[in-house]
Chains A and B, each alone.
Chain A
Amino acid sequence: AQSVTQPDIHITVSEGASLELRCNYSYGATPYLFWYVQSPGQGLQLLLKYFSGDTLVQGIKGFEAEFKRSQSSFNLRKPSVHWSDAAEYFCAVGARTNAGKSTFGDGTTLTVKP
């Protein structure tokens, strides 16, 4: 069975500082990997995804993530955080043979200090 771990429940960074959110997955083969963002009171929105090819993936809002097979990780990064990035972030893993289902991590809440 696939699983996702987001080790950090809550992260606080200063505006303009760099950000890295951690995600580790468990899956026997090459998975589909996703990062979603949820603003307060809203549904989830896709930031970026990996399913093949280049292991460094660019997404919306200046985010990127790197798939590292050897570490079973898919960490999300942003070089300079803006106050509007404050939200909850979810990493998800999808099996290639699982009819479109994904397993989500528990989420990391990002607070941005002025």
Chain B
Amino acid sequence: DVKVTQSSRYLVKRTGEKVFLECVQDMDHENMFWYRQDPGLGLRLIYFSYDVKMKEKGDIPEGYSVSREKKERFSLILESASTNQTSMYLCASSLGQGTPGNEQFFGPGTRLTVL
């Protein structure tokens, strides 16, 4: 089974702190994703990576950056955390383009609270 793990289930940070959220997948997937989930807003894509060192902005990239130095690891960085970044963050991975019907496999999520 594909396993996607996230470094923390719960995280509490202060405004202005730099925050790192880590995601690791163990199935050699090319694609990795970071979403945030807020009540009534569904899942919104923050950033997407289709290969090592390659990234693409999603729908809401402002205030975030990402890093993918190794294929299995995709990090989300909040350069200066703000209270409006309090949310559930979900990481996902999938096989690369060209694989028909390639569904995403999700981690358990990190609930981040910024005080």
Q: Does A17 lie at the interface of the complex (its beta carbon under 8 Å from any beta carbon of B)? A: no
A106 surroundings in chain B (CB, below 8 A): 40-42
User: In the complex, what's the smallest C-beta–C-beta distance from A89 to chain B, in angstroms?
Assistant: 11
Which residues in chain B, 39-71, are within 8 Å of chain A measured between CB atoms?
40-43, 45, 48, 50, 56
Q: Does A55 lie at the interface of the complex (its beta carbon under 8 Å from any beta carbon of B)? A: no
Q: In the complex, what residue of chain B is closest to A32 when comparing beta carbons?
A: B101
The answer to whether A101 and B45 touch across the interface, beta carbons within 8 angstroms, is: yes
Which residues in chain A, 26-83, are within 8 Å of chain B measured between CB atoms?
32, 34, 36, 41-46, 49-52
- In this complex, how many residues of chain A approach chain B with their Cβ under 8 Å: the count is 27
Which residues in chain B, 79-98, are within 8 Å of chain A measured between CB atoms?
90, 92, 94-97
A50 surroundings in chain B (CB, below 8 A): 101
The answer to whether A9 and B40 touch across the interface, beta carbons within 8 angstroms, is: yes
A52 surroundings in chain B (CB, below 8 A): 100-101
Q: In the complex, what residue of chain A is closest to B102 when comparing beta carbons?
A: A100
The answer to whether B106 and A45 touch across the interface, beta carbons within 8 angstroms, is: yes
The answer to whether A43 and B90 touch across the interface, beta carbons within 8 angstroms, is: yes
User: In the complex, what's the smallest C-beta–C-beta distance from B54 to chain A, in angstroms?
Assistant: 10
B99 surroundings in chain A (CB, below 8 A): 100
Q: List A residues at the B interface (Cβ < 8 Å).
A: 9, 32, 34, 36, 41-46, 49-52, 90, 94, 96-102, 104-107
**Top 10 A-B pairs, shortest CB-CB distance:** A51-B101, A43-B106, A106-B42, A104-B43, A100-B31, A44-B106, A99-B97, A46-B103, A43-B108, A100-B94
4 further A-B contacts with Cβ under 8 Å, apart from A42-B109, A49-B101, A100-B31, are A44-B90, A96-B100, A99-B48, A99-B96
